[in-house]
Amino acid sequence: MKIRPATQEDIDSLIRLLNQIGQLHHEHEPLVFTAPSGDHKAFWLKALEEEGRLFRVAVIQEQGKEKIAGLITARIDVNETIPFITRSPLCRIGTIVVDEACRQMGIGRALILDCEQWAQSHNAFQIRLEVMSFNASAKSFYDRLGYRPQSEIRAKNLLLT
């Protein structure tokens, strides 16, 4: 396995992976997450070009061919508006997904470790990510890597569909 920057040539494989996680989120929270769609391609192509964003893929060999088996995105944020929050650089993981057929192979761990190194190289004091409460396997994965709950997002639906 190797970790490398994602490119525009990877977009179809990226969309395939993102649709996997998108479907899971949509099934559990359809008021929050839309169903996977081809409309999302333009968003991800733009994200690939954003300066200062980490966008990496994990590539494995499968039947003699390269296969993108996972991806991670992250960015560095610095608080410049709220006086009681530190102004130290903070890394926020936006998306991480490993192909359903490639789980338990160390791919997610490799992506997280790569992101941690990137964050350290940008002087981030901490990495944060959001995990949905229904996603027990992801929460367990993050626990094993030393990520602990720091805050909790609460939601109340106001409109019923």
Please compute the mean of the pLDDT values over residues 108-130 and round it to a whole number. Answer: 96
Provide the pairing of β-strand 90-98 with 127-128: parallel
pLDDT attached to residue 34: 86
Please compute the mean of the pLDDT values over residues 122-131 and round it to a whole number. Answer: 95
Structure-model confidence comparison of residues 161 and 95, the more confident one: 95
Q: Which of 15, 97, 87, 93 is nearest to 54 (CA)?
A: 93
Answer whether residue 63 shows pLDDT above 90.
no
pLDDT attached to residue 161: 56
pTM metric for this prediction: 0.90
| Overall CATH class of domain 2-144 | alpha beta
pLDDT attached to residue 51: 86
Answer whether residue 80 shows pLDDT above 90.
no
Answer whether residue 122 shows pLDDT above 90.
yes
Structure-model confidence comparison of residues 68 and 156, the more confident one: 68
Q: Which of 16, 20, 26, 17 is nearest to 134 (CA)?
A: 26
